Structure 1
Amino acid sequence: MKPFAVILLFFCLTFGAYSAYASSDSTLTELDQMADEALQLTKFSRLEEAKSILERFAVRFSEEGVKDGKFTMDELRVLTASHHEALRAVTNINMNVDERIRLVTSFRLAADAISSTHQPMWIEMEASVMRDFQEVKNAALEGDKEAYNQSLNSFLATYTVIQPSLKIDLAADKLQKLDSKITFIDRYRSDFSEQEWADHLESLEQDLQKIFSNPDEDEADPSLWWVISMTGSIIVLTLSYVSWRKYKGERQQKKRKDSNN
């Protein structure tokens, strides 16, 4: 194969890889924008419009996301469940406004978690989550069982907003550890004991801080970087080979001229 043909072939392969990723990014951006629009409409109580956007999201998600295998099975499961809850929120006129917004916000954060490659939006919930948790901890340290239960309910409501996003972004074992501690303090709240609960809450607080403190690393598909690296290397080698052939040809031509002279 001629050098130019080699370069052209690998240029086409690289461009094709970039095109595939660009198409995928375009779909994710579109889905993310739909989720955001649904949330904004919900906040202004424009529920019919929010419902229409969520239904369009489902169609687009099914056509592009599911069909083309853009998402993992866990992502499909989590986002589908979160979307179902958001749709239920905007169609149930008897639902409390705060609860409705909470469910749609949870869906919006989950959609962002799938599309974000660096700083997901759920990270911005750190202040709210940790503030609510601090109230739980304060009530426990004061031995106020009634305040403890009220604060714990508020914390759990806030935590469930980011829980679908955590299922998408966190390793399964890390999330399981966190959820098991939260389930424990919720299930056995009637056995409230100031000192014992202080130890549980201290451990839980450290886990919560960890999930917010580690920024996301670049999660670009390693296969893309492999293609880029290999293509670059081959192009460099090809150009080097072409230069060497040209140099060798010029030397031979010069020798022939010297012999004739």
Structure 2
Amino acid sequence: MRSFVAILFTFCLVFSGLFAFASSNSALVELDKMADEALQLTKFSRLEEAKSILERFSVQFSKEGIKEGKFTMDELRVLTASHHEALRAVTNINMSLDERVRIVTSFRLATDAVASTHQPMWVEMEASVMKDFQGVKNAALEGDKDAYNQNLNTFLSTYTVIQPSLKIDLTAEKLQKLDSKITYLDRYRADFSEQEWTAHLESLEQDLQKLFSDPGEDEADPSLWWVISMTGSTIILTLSYVSWRKYRGQKQQSKRKRLK
């Protein structure tokens, strides 16, 4: 009887873990939907409505992220900063529509990076990022400084759209390595020569290609690993208990037969 109660208690722990994970995932889905809605409204210049959605997001995010501790410190920091920029984009009367959309898109991608359990949306930016980088590379190889500066500005603008998402999905070491190479391009843009920049540009191009082809391991939520671990342990314990009871019963039955 005690063994049965112990097994029942363990199953209760597992299912409570599953319920907690489902609840957490539901909250992330809701935040993700709000971020997407804010982006769609921004694209159609419905800025007051987009602002309202972003304010709702802030309240929900504060509740889920701070009070209930469902996000890591990095996720909290990145989403808070990205949300602040998105709110600024829809309230700044002097900002162009393209700039508004770019900033709110960055926020949308960052929210998805937190919520996604599979391939994140920022990976879909590969074509735009690589196209803009190719413009930088071509201008550098041709020695055209004016075209180089113009293309570099375009590339940097596109890269900043996915940068918050990268802060969430990449390790600090990988992101620092990538950012340092891009910063080098920007900082020394006036002093380049074809020979000097060829190796650097090719190295950065390889890093960008690897970034999109292998965006990194999609780490599951810690609570999910806890549930998986608990479930596996429960199954093992249950099977072991059943096998032991069966073995013990067979042994006692054999003993009784020998005594007859």
Would you say the 8 A contact 1:36–1:108 is kept in 2? yes
Deviation larger for 234-243 or 104-113: 234-243
Would you say the 8 A contact 2:10–2:234 is kept in 1? yes
**Matched letter for residue 232 of structure 1:** I
SS in 2 for 1:27: helix
1:231-246 matched pairs, under 5 angstroms? 231-246=234-249
1:14-163 matched pairs, under 5 angstroms? 14-163=14-163
Alpha-carbon RMSD: 1.8
**Matched letter for residue 135 of structure 1:** G
Stretches of structure 1 that go unaligned for 5 or more consecutive residues are none
Task: Tell me by how many angstroms 1:190 deviates.
Answer: 1.2
SS in 2 for 1:175: helix
Would you say the 8 A contact 2:170–2:215 is kept in 1? no
Alignment-derived partner of residue 202 in structure 1: 202
Change (3 A) 1:231 1:218: farther
State the alpha-carbon separation in 1 of the partners of residues 110 and 165 from structure 2: 5
CA displacement 1:62-95 (0-9 Å, x = unmatched)? 0012211111111111110000000000011220
State the alpha-carbon separation in 2 of the partners of residues 124 and 218 from structure 1: 16
TM-score, normalised via structure 2 length: 0.93
Stretches of structure 2 that go unaligned for 5 or more consecutive residues are none
**Matched letter for residue 182 of structure 1:** I
State the alpha-carbon separation in 1 of the partners of residues 219 and 171 from structure 2: 14
CA displacement 1:205-243 (0-9 Å, x = unmatched)? 111111111154352333333212211111111222333
Aligned residues: 257
TM-score, normalised via structure 1 length: 0.93
Would you say the 8 A contact 1:31–1:60 is kept in 2? yes
- Specify the structure having the higher radius of gyration (Cα): 1
What percent of counterpart residues are identical?
A: 70
Alignment-derived partner of residue 188 in structure 1: 188
**Matched letter for residue 54 of structure 1:** L
1:217-236 matched pairs, under 5 angstroms? 217-220=217-220, 221=222, 222-236=225-239
**Matched letter for residue 201 of structure 1:** L
State the alpha-carbon separation in 2 of the partners of residues 134 and 86 from structure 1: 28
Change (3 A) 1:181 1:218: closer
State the alpha-carbon separation in 2 of the partners of residues 145 and 251 from structure 1: 92
Task: Tell me by how many angstroms 1:55 deviates.
Answer: 0.4
State the alpha-carbon separation in 2 of the partners of residues 232 and 239 from structure 1: 11
Alignment-derived partner of residue 166 in structure 1: 166
State the alpha-carbon separation in 2 of the partners of residues 108 and 72 from structure 1: 18
CA displacement 1:144-196 (0-9 Å, x = unmatched)? 11111110010000000000000010010111111111111111111121221
Would you say the 8 A contact 2:132–2:155 is kept in 1? yes
State the alpha-carbon separation in 1 of the partners of residues 166 and 215 from structure 2: 13
